[in-house]
A and B are shown apart, each in its own frame.
Chain A
Amino acid sequence: MSAVLSVSALAKRYGELQALQDVSFQVGAGELIAVVGPNGAGKTTLLSIVSGISSPSAGTVIRGASQDGWSVGWVPQDCALYAKLSVAENLELFANLEGVADTPAAVQRMLEQTGLQARAGEAVGRLSGGNRQRVNVALGLIADPSVLVLDEPSASLDPGQRERLWEFVAARAAAGTTVVFSTHNVSEAKRYAARLLVLGAGRLLFDGTARELLEHVGENAGGDLEVALVRFLREHASEPPTAAVA
C-alpha cells in the first residue's frame, strides 16, 4: 500500500517544553488510524502539525507521491463553526474558501452524508452538540480531502451520537479517505482503528494494531486494551527515546 502521508522525525518545542520528539510514521490510503496516549502526550500537537495548524520545530510531513488533488481535512476538538450562520451557509462558506469547483453540489453531498438536510437552514448555534459535531466533521470533508484529521471527535458526544459519527467516518475510510484521529476512548480506538499510534511524553512508543499491543504486554487477543495500554505506558514511561515498537 502506497503512503498517502509520511511523517518523518517530527519534533515540536514550546519554549522549554519538548511536546514532540522524533515522531515518524506512514499512513496508507483508506487507513483508519487512532492516536492514543495520556494527557500531554502530544496527540493534539501531532495532529495540529499534520493538519497545518502549526509548523514543526524539526522534521517533515510529506504528502504521498503522485497524489493529485491531495489535501488534508481537519476536524478540531472544539467545533469550529459560525453559530449565527446556518448549516448550509457554514458548508457553503468553507466550500468557497477551499475553492471547491461545484459548491452547491458539495454542500448537498455533505448534507446528505451527515443526514442534516432537514436542518440545512437552521442556525448552527441552535443545534445539539451531536449535530454541531456532524457539521464540524462535514466542514473537514467539504473539499473531499485525501486525509481527514480528527482531534478527539467523540469527546462531547453521547453514545448514540458517537455511534452515528463513527459509522459516518468508517464509511468515508471505506471510500478511500485516510483517517487519523486522536482519542482517549481506547475501546473506540480498538473498535474502529486499523492501527494505533501510542504517544507518551511526546514520543511515539508504539505503532501497530490493537492485537499487537495486547500481545506486547502479554494479553490475549480478547483482553482489555485499556488495561494493556496502561501497562504498556507504565513500562515505557521511563524509557529513553527509541524506535517505536511495532
Chain B
Amino acid sequence: MRWLLRKDALILRRSRLLLALLIIYPVAIALLLGLAISRSPARPRVAIVNETAPGETIKVGSQRIAVGAYAHQLFDQVQAVEVPTRAQALAKVKSGEVLAAVVIPPDIASRVSSATEKAQLEVLYNGDALEQSLVRSTLNSALAQANLGFSEQIQKAAGTVISSLLSGGRLGSIGAPEDLIGLNQIPPTLAAIIGHLPRGHERTELERIDTFAIFAAQNLSLSRNVLATIGQPIRVNSVLLHGRRTPLNTFAVVVAVSVSLMFVCVLLAAGGVALEREEHTLARLLRSPPGGSGPLISRELLLVEKTLLAAGCAFVLAFAMLAGIGAFVALDWSRVGLWLAALALGAVAFGALGVAIGALAREVRAASLLAFALALPLAFLALVPAGSVSGGVYGAVNTISYVFPFKPALQALDAAVNGASPAIGVPLLHLAVLAGVFGVLARLGLQRAQ
C-alpha cells in the first residue's frame, strides 16, 4: 500500500491547481468566517427627514419626550444620513446613495400627545429584494425597540398619575384641584365619620361608598402592575434542557470546518478512485493472473489507501482551519483531543463516502460533479432546524441526514468544540458505522466497475 500512497502523494503534489484549491479554499473560508463573526454587521444607510419643529416634545402625562431623542433611539440601528426635505431624501433613495429614507411628519408630536390618533412614519425604499428585506427588517426592529421605549415612558407617566390618585396631593398634570384627597385616604376618613352616625339610611349609604372606595383603591393599585404587563406582555426565560449552550459564532465555526472537511475529503477520495479508472490503471492494479499470487493490490487495500490519503489531507486542513479561526473566536483548546477525534472519524467517514462515489464514476470530472451534487444538499439538509418545515418533510430530511456522514460529523465537532449535545460518543459511533457501510458500498462498486 505504501507504494500506492507514495504515488498518490506525488500525483497530488504535482496537481498544482488541485493543491492550490485545497489550501486556498479552507483558508479563504476560515478568513471570511473569522472576519464575518468578529465584526458587527454593516448598518444600512438610511436618510432621515425630521419635519417636526426643532426641540418639539411629545407630552405624556406630566412628562415630555423630545422627538429628537425618539428619532435618535429609532435610528440607532441604521447609518443615519440627515436630510432636510422629503424630496432630497427621495432623490437619495432613487440614486442608491441610501437604501431607504424615513420621514418623521410634522404632526407626530400632536398625534402621540392626543392619545387618540396613531402617529405614522413614512418609509421610502428602493433596491433589490434582498436590500428591501434588509432595510424593512432593520427598520421594523428599530421601530419595535423605539416603541418599546416609548411605551415604557407612557407607562411611567401613567404610573405616576395612578400613584397620585391613590395617595392624593397635587395632580396638576390632569387638571385636578389642588390638595386632592387620595383614594387610599377615603376608607379611614369615611370609617371615622360612619362611627359617629346613628344606624339609618345615611349610614348605610356611606358604608356602601366606603366599600366602593376600598375596592377602587385596591384595584387601582393593581392597575400599575397591569400597565407594566401591557408594556412588555411576554418576557423570555430560556431553559436549556441538556448539553451546553452553543454560541452562534462557534457553531458557525463548526459548520464551516465540517463543510470544508467534507468537501476536501469527499472530492479527494472520489477523485482518487476515479483517476485510477480514468487512466485505465485500475485493471492493471486489480488483475489477478491465473496461477499467480493474486492482484498487485486488493480492492480493500486500494479503498483503504484512497480513504486514508483523502482523510489525512482533509484532517490536516480542517485542523489548520480550526486553529486559524481560533485567532478570531475564543475556542477551548483544552478540548483539542476531542477535536482531533471528531475530525479524524469525520474524515474517515467522508473518505469512505468519497471512495463509494469514485467507484461509481468512470472519470474524475464525473466523480467531482457527483461529489459536489451530493455533498452540497447534504450540508443544507443537515442544517434544517426542527419546526421550520412540516413534520413529514423534517422526518425525510432527518432520515437522509442520518444515512450520510455530514450531520454526525457536525454533531461530533460541535460536541468536541462546544460541548454541545448529543455527547460526542454517539456521533462518533454513528460515523464509524457509516464509514463501514460506505466502505462496503465502495467495494461493491469496484466489483461492478470491473
Residues of chain A whose beta carbon lies under 8 Å from any beta carbon of chain B: 50-54, 60-63, 70-72, 74, 76, 78-85, 89, 93-94, 96-98, 123, 139
Chain B residues with CB under 8 A of A63: 290-291
A53 pairs with B287, CB closer than 8 A: yes
A76 pairs with B7, CB closer than 8 A: no
B251 to chain A, nearest CB (A): 40
Does residue B399 face the partner (Cβ distance < 8 Å to A)?
no
Minimum CB distance partner of B3 in chain A? A96
Mind listing 11 A-B residue pairs with CB under 8 Å?
A61-B290, A63-B291, A70-B291, A72-B289, A72-B290, A76-B283, A79-B280, A80-B283, A84-B11, A85-B7, A93-B3
B119 to chain A, nearest CB (A): 72
Binary A-proximity of B292-320 (CB < 8 A = 1, otherwise 0): 10011100000000000000000000000
Chain B residues with CB under 8 A of A76: 280, 283-284
Rank and list the top 9 A-B pairs by shortest CB-CB distance, nearest first. Answer: A52-B289, A63-B291, A80-B280, A61-B290, A72-B289, A97-B296, A52-B287, A80-B284, A84-B11
Chain B residues with CB under 8 A of A50: 290
Chain A residues with CB under 8 A of B248: none
Does residue B285 face the partner (Cβ distance < 8 Å to A)?
yes
**How many A-B Cβ pairs are below 8 Å?**
71
A122 to chain B, nearest CB (A): 13
Chain B residues with CB under 8 A of A139: 284
A70, B291: Cα distance in complex, Å: 8
Chain B residues with CB under 8 A of A70: 291-292
Minimum CB distance partner of B6 in chain A? A93
Known interface pairs A82-B279, A82-B281, A97-B297; A54-B450 also in contact (CB < 8 Å): yes
A2 to chain B, nearest CB (A): 15
B287 pairs with A71, CB closer than 8 A: no
Chain A residues with CB under 8 A of B279: 80-83
Does residue B235 face the partner (Cβ distance < 8 Å to A)?
no
A74 pairs with B290, CB closer than 8 A: no
Minimum CB distance partner of A147 in chain B? B289
A93, B10: Cα distance in complex, Å: 11
Chain A residues with CB under 8 A of B281: 80-82
A116, B450: Cα distance in complex, Å: 31
A81, B296: Cα distance in complex, Å: 15
Minimum CB distance partner of A75 in chain B? B284
**Interface size of B by Cβ–Cβ distance < 8 Å?**
24
A80, B450: Cα distance in complex, Å: 15
A153 to chain B, nearest CB (A): 14
B11 pairs with A72, CB closer than 8 A: no
B7 pairs with A51, CB closer than 8 A: no
Does residue B14 face the partner (Cβ distance < 8 Å to A)?
yes
B280 pairs with A78, CB closer than 8 A: yes
Contact among B11, B284, B295 with A85 in the assembled complex (CB-CB below 8 Å): B11
Chain A residues with CB under 8 A of B10: 84-85, 89
Chain B residues with CB under 8 A of A93: 3, 6-7
A98 pairs with B296, CB closer than 8 A: yes
Does residue B15 face the partner (Cβ distance < 8 Å to A)?
yes
Known interface pairs A76-B280, A76-B283, A97-B297; A84-B289 also in contact (CB < 8 Å): no
Minimum CB distance partner of B296 in chain A? A97
A51, B295: Cα distance in complex, Å: 11
B282 to chain A, nearest CB (A): 8
Does residue B288 face the partner (Cβ distance < 8 Å to A)?
yes
B15 pairs with A84, CB closer than 8 A: yes
Chain B residues with CB under 8 A of A71: 289, 292
Chain A residues with CB under 8 A of B292: 52, 70-72
Chain B residues with CB under 8 A of A82: 7, 11, 279, 281
B396 to chain A, nearest CB (A): 35
Chain B residues with CB under 8 A of A80: 279-281, 283-284
Most buried by A among B10, B281, B283, B289: B289
Known interface pairs A53-B283, A74-B284, A79-B280; A62-B290 also in contact (CB < 8 Å): yes
A79, B296: Cα distance in complex, Å: 18
Chain B residues with CB under 8 A of A81: 279-281
A51, B288: Cα distance in complex, Å: 8
Chain A residues with CB under 8 A of B4: 97
Chain A residues with CB under 8 A of B11: 82, 84-85
A78, B280: Cα distance in complex, Å: 7
A53, B282: Cα distance in complex, Å: 10
B450 pairs with A52, CB closer than 8 A: no
Minimum CB distance partner of B285 in chain A? A97
Chain A residues with CB under 8 A of B283: 53, 76, 80
Chain B residues with CB under 8 A of A84: 10-11, 14-15
A96, B3: Cα distance in complex, Å: 7
A32, B88: Cα distance in complex, Å: 94
A13, B11: Cα distance in complex, Å: 37
